[in-house]
A = this chain, B = another copy of it.
Amino acid sequence: MTQQIQKQAPHKSITGNLVNGVDLDILQGTVQAIADDPELGKCRFRATNTWHGGTDNRTTVSGFYGAKQEIPHKQQFVMRADEPSILAGDDEGANPVEYLLSALAACITTSMVAHAAVRGIHIDSLESELEGDIDINGFLGLSRSTPKGYTDIRIRFRVETDTDNLEQLKELSSFSPVLNTLTQGTSVSIEIEGM
């Protein structure tokens, strides 16, 4: 896919066909390449995490597999997680369930913006607020009947665009991979070995 795309749009350029800041030449090149060879769409995203003691740990992302090849990020991204003091942490980073909200907000935003661009729907600005409920009686093991994770997440988007577009934007949010993962659930397998 990278090769095919590079042939069509070697660099993201100011002179590209930009809608909502999305270079449609690049995006549609990717879409066309995958339409021609669906195997190119199979991605494996990856991360590593290192514990730094207590509730402090860091996740590093360096690259992913897609388009039948390893694709390195142009830099490593490090995400530090911690817990607030009432959960015995030093509050040096967002906590894991806040990272989950950031993943959701970012994913729906990007999904709406990109799918809107492809459909010629112009967005001038966009922001969102999220709130999610967790009763930590579950996590702490104080109540077996209390779910340990989020039971409800609410998101409110405010979008500067033609009012006629709002309903369609809401429909486009349904393309979001993180939204779908959270609402549909996914299989997670865990292995633990000594070192």
Contact = CB atoms under 8 A, between A and B. Distances in A.
State which size class the interface on A falls in: 35 or more
Interface of A is mostly: mixed
How many identical chains are in the complex? 2
B187 A185 contact: no
A107 B114 CA distance: 30
Given A48-B127, A159-B195, A177-B97, A86 B105 contact: no
Contacts of A46: 101, 129-132
A123 B189 CA distance: 21
B105 A47 contact: yes
Contact of A133 (B42, B138, B154): B42
B90 A12 contact: yes
